[in-house]
Structure 1
Amino acid sequence: MNLSTLLRSRAATGRPVRVGLIGAGKFGSMVLSQAQKIEGLHMVAVADLAVGRVRQSMARVGWPEERYGAASAADAVRRGTTFVTDDVSALLACEEIECVIEATGHPIAGTRHALQCIEHDKHVVMVNVEADVMVGPILAEKARARGLVYSMAYGDQPALICELVDWVRSCGFELVAAGKGMNFEPRYRYSTPDTVWGYFGWTEEEVAKGDFNPKMYNSFTDGTKAAIEMAAVANGTGLDCPEDGLAFYPAGLHDLARVFRPASDGGRLARSGLVDIAASQEPDGREVVNNIRYGVFVTFKAHNEYTRACFKQYGLMTDPSGWYASMWRPFHIIGLETSISVLSAALRGEATGSSREFRGDAVATAKRDMQPGEILDGEGGFAVWARAIPAARSLALRALPMGLAQNVKLKRPVLRDQIVSYDDVELSHDLDVVEVRAEMERRFRAGVEAAG
C-alpha cells in the first residue's frame, strides 16, 4: 500500500521507472491515458504495427503531440518524451527500459515478445492472457531464473482474482472457490463474428459508428475469454478447473457463498478448490438480480465456530449455514490500473499474480461438425471455443491449446463440442512457439512422474 511513496522516492533520485508498451489497442490506450498522469513513470516507447493508430490513440487520450515525437528510444530517454515505432526490437534494445507491458492479445506474438523481453533483462507485465495460459508457467520460470518479474496485469480480472485469493490465504480462511462475473447464456456458446452483435443488442448502424473488433467481442460472448482467464487463474493460484469445463452458474452478489460451495454442503461445486463463473444471466435470458458482471469474487470457509460467529457479527455475505462467506470486487478497469503491476515489478520485485504451475488449460473445442481441410480460425472465430479443463486431462487427451488453434488445418473430422487434439490438425506454422509449449508439457509430465 505504499507504491506511490516508493515511486516518489525513486523519482527524487532522477531515475523514473522507464516503461515500454507493445500493442496500442483498447488496453494499450487505457494504459497511455493514465501513464501521462503518473509522476515518476516514463513511457519511453510504444511499439505497434500500426504507428498511425498509436498516434491517434495518444491524441485521443490527451497526449500533446510534442510529447510523443521522439526520434528514437534514446532520444525519448534524454528528453523525457515517448518514441512511437513499429519495431519491437528498437524498444527492447533500449537498456533504460526496465519493464515492458505486452498488450497485443496475440498468443504467438505475445510468447515471442515475452521471451525477447526476458533475454533483454526486462520485467514483463503480461496483459496477453492468451499467451500466458498457453505457456505462462514456463515464461515465469525463465524470468525467475534471470531475477526478473513475469506478472499478470493488474486491472484485468485474473490478477484481481489472484489478489483476492492471496487475501483469503493471508487471513487464514479456507479457500473454496474463485472466479469472475460475466454475461453468459448457454446459447452464446456457438456465437460467431457474424452473429455476435445481436447478443449485444446493437444495430449494424451502431456497430459501424464504433471501432469494434467482432472476433474480440465474440471471444467474450462464446465463453472463450472466460476459459482462458480462469485457466490462467488456476495456474496462478493452485486452484483447479472443473473436469469438463466451466459451468457458468447464475449467481448474484447475495448468492455467491451459497452457490460457490461444495454440493455436499448444498452448493453447486463438485468439490472445494475450483474456479468458475458467476453468470449474470439465467439460462432463459433473465437478468440475475445484483449480478457482478464486471467483478471478481472468492468464497471461503470459517475454520471454527468463533470465526463463523465473526462472519455474522461483521456483516459478511454468507450462505444459510454461516460457515461459507464471499468477498468480491465489483469492477475491473483493465489498462487504467495496470501501472500497479509495473510499479510492483520495478519497485518491489513482485508480481501482481503470476503463473506458478501448469494446472489449468484452455483447449480448442469445436463449435460445429467440421471436416478435413477446414481451417481453425482461433479465439472468437467461427470454428472453435475454449474449454477450461485441468492440465492433466488436457495432456491425456493431447488437447490443442486455444493459442495454437489459429490458422491450422484439420486433417481429421471433429464433431461439435469435441475437444480438438494435436492429432486432428497439421501444425506447420509457428513451430518455435509450439516447441515452447512442448517444453512446458514435458516438464509437467516429468514433475508428475517424480511425484510418484
Structure 2
Amino acid sequence: MNLSAMLAKRTAEGRPVRIGLIGAGKFGSMILAQAQHIDGYHIVGIADLDPSKAKASLARVHWSAEQYAATSLQDAVASGATHVTDDVGALFSNDQIEVIIEATGHPIAGVRHAMAAIDAGKHVIMVNVEADVMCGPIIAERARKAGVVYSMAYGDQPAAMCELVDWVHSCGFELVSAGKGMNFCPGYRYSTPDTVWDYFDFSEEQVKSGDFNPKMYNSFTDGTKAAIEMAAVANATGLDCPFDGLAFPPSSLDDLAEVFKPASEGGRLEKNGIVDIAASREPDGRLVPNNIQYGMFVTFRAPNEYTRQCFDQYGLLTDASGWYGSMWRPFHLIGLETSVSVLSAALRGEPTGTSNRYRGDAVATAKGDFAAGDMLDGEGGFKVWAKAIPASRAVAERALPIGLAHHVKLKRDIKRDQIVTLDDVEVADDLDIHALRDEQNALLDS
C-alpha cells in the first residue's frame, strides 16, 4: 500500500526503476500508455520483432517521437528516453535494467526470454500466461535460486485472483474456490478465427485498428484463455483444477457463494478447493443479469458460528445457509495496472502471484476429428482448445500442453474433444522446452 511512496523516495535519490519491455502488442501498449505518467518509472528499452510496429504502438498511446528517440540503451539510460530495438538480448545484457516485462504472448519465446532474464539477474514480470502455465513452476524455481522475483502481471486476472486468495488466508477464512467471469456458452468452444468477431461488439474500424488479433480473441472465446489462466492460478495458490476441465457454471454476483461451493453442500463444484469460471451466459445464450464477466472472485466459508453471524451483521453476500460468502473485484485493467507488479518486484522484492507449485495444466484438446498428417495450429486456432486439468492427470496421460500445440504434425487420428497426447504428435523441435517440462514434472504437487 506504499509503493508510490517508495518509488518517490527512489526517484528523489536519482534511482528510477529501469525496465525492459518485450512485446508492444495490445498488453504492451496498455503498459506504455501509463508508463509515461509515473515519475521514476523508466521504460529504458522496448524489444519487438518489428520495431516499426512498436513505434506505431507508442504513437497510438500518445508518446511523442522524442520520448522513444534514444539511439541505444545506454543513450536511453542517460537521457531518460526509450530505445526501440529488435535485439531482445540487449535488454538482458544491459546492467541498468532491473525488471523485464515479457508481453509477447508467444509461449515458447516467453519461456526462453524469462530464463535468459533470470540468468542475467533480472526480475521478470510474466504477462505471458501462456508461457507461465507451460513452464511457470520450473521458471519460478530457477528465479528463487537466482534470488530474483518471477511474478504474474498485476491487472491481469490471475494476479488479481491471487490477491483475493491471499486476502482469504490472511483473514483466517476457509478458502473454497477462486475464479473469474467470462462471456461463455458451450457452443463457443468450437469458435475459429474466421467466426470470432461474431461473438464481440467491436466495429469494423476497431478490428482494423491494429490492436485486435483474431487468434488471440478466439482463445478468449473458445475457453482456452480461461483454462490457461485458471491452471496458472492453481499453480500459484494450491487450488485444484476440476478433473475433467472447467465447468463454466453461469452465475450472477448475488449467487457466487451459492454456486461456487461443493455439490455436497448444494453448489456446483466437484469438491472443495477448486478453480472454475462464472459464465455470464446461460447455456441457451441468455445473458445472466448482474454477471461478473470482467471480474474475479473467491468464495470462502466461516470457520465458526460467531464468524457466520458476523457475515450477516456486516452485509456480506452469502449463500442461503450463511456459512459461505463471496468477495470479488468487478473489473481488471490489464496493462494499465501492471506497474504494480514491476514496483512490487523492484521495491519490495515480492511477486504479485507466482507459480510456486505444479498443480494444474492447460492441455490441447481437439475441436474436431482430424487425421494423421494434419497440423495443429495452437491457441485460438482452428484445431484445438485448452482444457484445465490437474497436473497429476496431465503427467499420467502425457498430455500435450497447449503451448506446444503450435505447428506440430499429428502422427495419428484424433477425435473431437479428445485430449491430445505427446504420443499423438511429432516432436521435432523445441526440445529445450520439453526438457524443462520433464524437469518440472519432478515438482508435481500431489
**Matches of 1:192 and 1:8 in 2, distance apart?**
47
- Counterpart for residue 65 of structure 2: 65
- The Cα shift of 1:190 comes to 0.5
Is the 2:26–2:211 Cα contact (8 Å) retained in structure 1?
no
Give yes or no for contact 2:153–2:341 (8 Å, CA) kept in 1: yes
Offset of 1:336 from its aligned partner? 0.3
Partner of 1:89: 89
Residue 40 (str. 1) matches residue 40 (str. 2): yes
Distance 2:152 2:398 in 1: 27
Instruction: Give 3-state SS (helix, strand or coil) of 1:74's partner.
Output: helix
3-state SS, counterpart of residue 443 of structure 2: helix
> Relative to 1, partners in 2 of residues 1:298 and 1:413: Cα closer, same or farther, differing over 3 Å?
same
Taking structure 1 as reference, are residues 290 and 227 closer, same or farther at Cα in structure 2, changes over 3 Å only?
same
Question: Structure 2, unaligned stretches of length 5 or more?
Answer: none
Which residue of structure 1 lines up, in the alignment, with residue 390 of structure 2?
A: 390
**Paired letter, 1:440:** Q
Amino acid at match of 1:32: L
Aligned to 2:244: 244
Shift of 1:207: 3.7
CA distance in 2, matches of 1:94, 1:51: 19
Confirm or deny: 8 A CA contact 2:344 2:350 kept in the other structure: yes
Deviation sequence 1:225-278 (CA, Å, 0-9, x none):
000000000000000000000000100100000000111111111111000000
Deviation at 1:444, TM superposition (A): 3.0
2: CA distance between counterparts of 1:212 and 1:341?
Answer: 25
User: Equivalent residue for 2:443?
Assistant: 444
The answer to whether the 8 A contact 2:411-2:425 is kept is yes
SS at match of 1:261: coil
Structure 1 residues 16 and 387, CA, compared in 2 at 3 Å: closer, same or farther?
Answer: same
Question: TM-score scaled to structure 1, two decimals?
Answer: 0.97
Aligned residue number for residue 224 of structure 1: 224
Give the 3 Å change call, closer, same or farther, for CA 201–96 of structure 1 in structure 2.
closer
Q: Secondary structure at the match of 2:154?
A: coil
Shift of the 367–174 alpha-carbon distance from structure 1 to 2, 3 Å rule, reads: same
* Alpha-carbon distance change, 202 to 74 in structure 1, aligned in 2, over 3 angstroms: closer
Which deviations, in whole Å up to 9, do the C-alpha atoms of 1:298-322 show, x marking residues without a partner? 0000011110011011111100000
Contact 1:371 1:410 in 2 (8 A): yes
Written as runs of structure 1 = structure 2, the 5 A alignment for 1:38-437 is: 38-200=38-200, 207-208=207-208, 211-437=211-437
Q: Which amino acid aligns with 2:301?
A: K
Tell me, yes or no, if the aligned pair for 1:361 and 1:388 is still in contact at 8 Å: yes
Give the Å deviation of 1:138.
Answer: 0.4
Q: What's the secondary structure of 1:317's corresponding residue?
A: coil
Measured in 1, the distance between the counterparts of 2:70 and 2:205 equals: 39
**C-alpha distance in 2, partners of 1:95/1:266?**
56
Contact conserved, 1:197 with 1:203, CA < 8 A, in 2? no
Whole-angstrom CA distance in 1 between matches of 2:189 and 2:3: 41
Letter in 2 for 1:444: L
Q: How many residues align?
A: 446
Q: How far off its partner does 1:177 sit?
A: 0.3
Distance 1:3 1:209 in 2: 34
Q: TM-score, normalised by structure 2?
A: 0.98
2:14 and 2:416 map into 1 onto residues whose CA distance is 59
Closer, same or farther in 2 for the Cα pair 1:206/1:152, shift >3 Å?
A: closer
Aligned residue for 1:13? 13
Aligned counterparts of 1:286 and 1:133: Cα–Cα separation in 2? 32
The sequence identity of aligned pairs, in percent, is 69
Q: What is the rounded CA distance, in whole Å, between the counterparts of 1:210 and 1:88 in structure 2?
A: 22
The change in CA–CA distance for 1:205 and 1:171 in structure 2 (over 3 A counts) is closer
In structure 2, what is the Cα distance between the partners aligned to 1:40 and 1:254?
42
1:405-432 deviation digits (Å, cap 9, x = unpaired): 0000000111000000000000102111
Distance 2:130 2:375 in 1: 19
Mean Cα deviation higher: 66-75 or 150-159: 66-75
User: 2:19 touches 2:43 (CA, 8 Å); kept in 1?
Assistant: yes
Please provide the CA RMSD for this pair: 1.2
Q: CA 1:206–1:27 in structure 2 vs 1: closer, same or farther (change >3 Å)?
A: closer
Deviation at 1:212, TM superposition (A): 2.1
Aligned 8 A contact 1:18 1:42 in 2? yes
After superposition, what is the alpha-carbon deviation per residue over 1:11-51, rounded to whole angstroms, capped at 9, x for unaligned? 11111010010000000000001110111111100000111
Instruction: Report the 3-state secondary structure (helix = DSSP H, G, I; strand = E; otherwise coil) of the residue aligned with 1:115.
Output: helix
Separation of aligned partners in 1, 2:258 and 2:187: 25
Deviation at 1:202, TM superposition (A): 5.4
